Amino acid sequence: MGDVQKRVPHVRVVVDENDVERGAMRILEQIRPRWEKDSVEFKLLTDGITNKLVGCRPAEAEESETVLVRIYGNKTDLLIDRKAETRNFILLNKVDLAPDLYATFDNGLAYRFIPGNTLDQETVRDPHIYRLVAKRMAKLHKVKVKGEEHPQPFLWDKMSSFLELVPDVFSDSKKNERYRECIMSKAQIEGELRELRNALKNSDSPVVFAHNDLLLGNVIYTQSEDSVTFIDFEYAAFSYQAYDIGNHFAEFVGIGTDLDYSLYPDKELQTDWIRTYLAEYHGREPKEEEVEKLYVQANQFVLAAHLFWGIWALIQAEHSYIDFDYMEYADLRLREYFAKKSVCALFNGSS
């Protein structure tokens, strides 16, 4: 399996975002040449707010035969190292933590469909399911990468590079007006980033190989196998353990701009999740002080998650062709950043 996955073919095709079926068929002609062209069914999947995703399979075929073709969003190469993403996909597939990667193409990937349902605001709170997620994340965090004995977290440099990509003036006048009215300036964001980095610089949270984007749509629960699978490794990289966990907790509130922050998990849920995670991560039952420490760290690093995705959304607001209100999303994430900051002991000594 490992040798096969090292030879992932590259198809020299650019798939037009506005004509995904024609482009996807050109990919399939290379990786599924026996499929009858006229029998292939396409289903556009719309959960993503970065890329377009289409499922492809012959009519009457089993669901497990579906190939997913993911087309990168416009200018997302500014945000994501696509070669690193492919390496991560192959690495994690070898340890059974990612689906099979069938091919890359000039602006996307084709990979195996995992039957099941993505999580939603209810299923992510189901104790049975969230414990599966906690165990899966712990397994991911234990993955070792050859040549990376002392890895550095991607977080601060990535956020700084993102901030440089935020335009001073948005090309769309209406977006620019909304930015001026609702969002703090780049200089203010830079100040917040500097302050947050200084506040967290002494954290002893371990640096692990992390997903870094475990939103609800990136977790699939397969009931028939009673298992969860993570997908979309665009931001997979070495990061703080507590960041990956805190970032996931922030996603309990929903997808897109339909966010309900009253659904942010309470301490009882978080500590149960963390206790399950640590038992898998360490291979033993954790001490209560270990659970409490990681709980505190995760809720500190959730500030970094809100700031990260707020900056990300401002870049997308300028470049993405996807029909999504990125400016509204940036506003929501940055408002929640300040709400969390106002009660964070790092900044005001409160509990």
Q: For 281-330, what is each residue's pLDDT tens digit?
A: 999 999 999 999 999 999 999 999 999 999 999 999 999 988 899 999 99
Give residue limits of the domains in the chain: 2-112, 117-348
- pTM of the full structure: 0.91
DSSP 212-225: S---GGGEEEETTT
Residue, of 6 and 158, whose pLDDT is higher: 158
Which neighbouring-strand residues pair with 49?
none
> Do the beta carbons of residue 54 and residue 21 sit within 8 Å?
yes
Q: Which helix (H) or strand (E) holds 20?
A: helix 20-31
Band of pLDDT at residue 80, cut at 50, 70 and 90: confident
Task: Taking residues 252-269, report their average pLDDT.
Answer: 94
> Do the beta carbons of residue 274 and residue 282 sit within 8 Å?
no
Residue that is written with structure tokens 């203010």 in the block: 188
Q: Which residues contact 292 (CB under 8 A, 6 or more apart)?
A: 271
Helix (H, G, I), strand (E, B) or coil at 43: strand
Architecture of domain 2-112: 2-Layer Sandwich (3.30)
pLDDT value, residue 349:
57
CA dist., res. 322 & res. 302, Å (int): 26
pLDDT value, residue 322:
84
List, for residues 161-197, the tens digit of each pLDDT value.
999 999 999 999 999 999 999 899 999 999 999 999 9
User: CA dist 108 to 58, 111, 230, Å?
Assistant: 21, 10, 18
CA 305, 311, 315, 316: dihedral to nearest 10 degrees?
A: 40
> Which CATH code of 3.40.50.720, 3.40.50.2000, 3.30.1330.60, 3.90.1200.10 fits the domain covering 117-348?
3.90.1200.10
pLDDT value, residue 5:
42
User: 42-46, 137-141, 286-290 — which is least confidently predicted?
Assistant: 42-46
User: CA dist 103 to 14, 108, 209, Å?
Assistant: 13, 9, 24
Task: Taking residues 75-101, report their average pLDDT.
Answer: 86
Band of pLDDT at residue 65, cut at 50, 70 and 90: confident
Residue 351 reports pLDDT greater than 80: no
